[in-house]
Structure 1
Amino acid sequence: MRRKMLVFSVFFLLFSGLVLGQSYSHDEKMYFGEQEEIGDYIVEYSSQNGDDVLEIGRWMDTSFRIMDQVENDDIYEREGETLNISENLSIRIGSSGWDRDGRFLNLDIMADKEILSSGEIDSSAPSKIIVSQDDSADIPFTIENTGFLNQTYNLSVDTNASVEASFSFQDFNVTEVYVEAGEEESVTANLEVPENAELGTYKVRLIAQNGEKLSEEFQMEIRGAEVEREMSLNIRENYMASNPDETKEIPITVRNSAGFGYRDDSTGAALENVEIEVTAPDSWEYDLNPEGFSELDTRERQRSMLTLDVPAEASPGDYFVEISASSDKASIESPSEIRINVREESGMSSVGLVLMALSLAALIFVYRKFSRR
């Protein structure tokens, strides 16, 4: 019997040493009433039915099992004692006390790296993104280290789509990112879609791994390359005459002419963030309504009205107004030009009116004088 006990003791010591050699240690200061998750274990230091309780439980499948429990004075009298919860988790009871935040109990948690390591990955990108051939997409995401150990996460992308993935962190291209315990870091995944990529919808998983594999999944639809982007301007009048201190209204039509003349709309692409640009002579005021359009679909056209004020002090002669337009991926190659001829104000019109009035008065006088005879 004594031989069996001796053999068992030696085996236990060897086994404990093996486990301890693979364990990591973390000091935890638990306040009364708190609960701490350690992997699938839960450590709670609280009051139950009026008793002080240090309880360690574990989720096993769908049920919760109490692994160990220490109550009342035993908690404080067993300072320095180790609770062997399982083959990969031990908890040494430390000192207790009070501080400004309340009553606390120090615990030394010894566990496998996998138990002390946990994290979350999250992306603000939509659940489905659309990318064209020969284009790219940037996917922002965050990695939060919710565990007790500082971690270096290896970054990768898992997908059947023929894309080239890279990662950027603080303006550097990286393949891994370091995240301290309790902190989070923001990373951007860049997905380059080659020109010959197969069309279709694919699942894409962003992966951050260090023992535990964190992943975020979304769908990516690859569409055919947008082969044409083109826009044009139509101005009704390219020449007009004006007097000083006169207001002119000039309609401007912007058209997405990509694919124009084809039956298939897919030969063109929508224009986004269209802006109309006006260059007027110095001291000439103008108003443009609207100043642009958020989007123009293929073959769509929209009108804007340019209201131009000719200054009262404008000298006679020709003046030129340039009008152009641009969008995110297309622009007008050459601006359109409007020539405005400011005419010289003449006093002959008022003189003519005076002469006409005098002539009419003379005729009336003559008529009345001779009609009395």
Structure 2
Amino acid sequence: MKATQAPPSLPNQYLVYTGYQGPDQPEVSQTWLLPPASVYGGKTPQQPLSIPYLYTGNGNPSTLGVSNDDFVIAASWSGSPTRTNVNVTLQLTGKNAWSTGAAARAALRKNFLAFLAKIEASFEIGSSPLLIPGATSILAAALVQYMPLPAGETLLYACGLESGMGTGAPPAVDVMPGMRLRSEPSVRQYLAPPTQAFSGYVSTGTLAWEVAASTVSGSRVQAFDAFWGAVASPQITPPPGSPGPIYGLLDLALANSGYKYHRLVYPQSVIAGSAPGSLDAATSATLTGANTLADLRSSPPYSASFFGRDVVIPEICVFLGVSSATLQPIWVPLGTTVNNLLERFTRWKPLSTSSAQNALRLTRPAYSSQQLGSLAGVSVAFAPAGAAITDLRALDLPLWPGDGLLLNLPVPVGA
């Protein structure tokens, strides 16, 4: 049997490693994103990650303890516990996180969702919560930045993106504050004979709705525009049925009256462009909403379908610079990879030379465990330290919100 090769580890960088072999399947090679200073097969991070300022000051912080096979949360402090000296600690056990087999990957995902749902239900929701509103989302983001992950699973954990490929389940994605929903609705046109063959759905343009967190109502919910999150939601007369249709932003404004989480579910089949309209959730993009993570995936109380053949694409904001230019914020569809941005400018890839690492500089914001409560820019290496980029798969890394990519490419004279 082929011996398992431990991947290299970079102390202060993420590493895209195209030759990763899991301890359970040494004969399988995959492309993984490895966190800084990771220890193959071990706990991640090596010392529990400490996160301050999440404790409300209510109750006994020693009860802040949840664990399963893959994840552990606890609390640490010195002296009398206060809001400022209690830190929440997180750590992966390493049981399933380093494995490549389907059963281990499924167990890790199940334990991740159960872990977060338990934290929210036990410590964030209630009459006297131990954790501040939104703490569960912060803890989820902190966990993801330290998880060793196959490149194809990075958005599954960062944004709940389920592709539906090979699973039989519909594609779906979590709607998160900071995203922008790009809607491309279509309207059915009718043409009388002799041109009735041209009757059908036609595109009407592009709309963009920015998702924002709102606390105006006294609880933290999601709004589909910061302004609508700051004012009372309008009432539609007569009230729509359930599930209601989404014709435009006004219909989405109703959803921000109390839902903490939303999720987009995409159909596996759609109506033909020449067919009559349908609001059937099975053939339309559907938005679901709930106030708990558990309900969001099991029994969401809110559901509405986008009208007609509306296409809804979640977008994230990243930074892009070319040839030492100042990085500028741009919106890209969720799922955009480093290669997708590179191919906007060239078909030639910076491979096979030691200078290739300098041609691609990717930095992503991450929670700093060295300075509690601060952000750090952590670079992503596309090959081990000092090595040349020799595998195109390294460039297929999906971007996360806030990533900064600098492409050191030759620029035409006079540009």
Higher-Rg structure is 1
TM-score > 0.5 by shorter chain = no
TM-score by structure 2 length?
Answer: 0.23
- TM-score where L is the length of structure 1: 0.25
Structure showing the higher strand proportion among its residues:
1
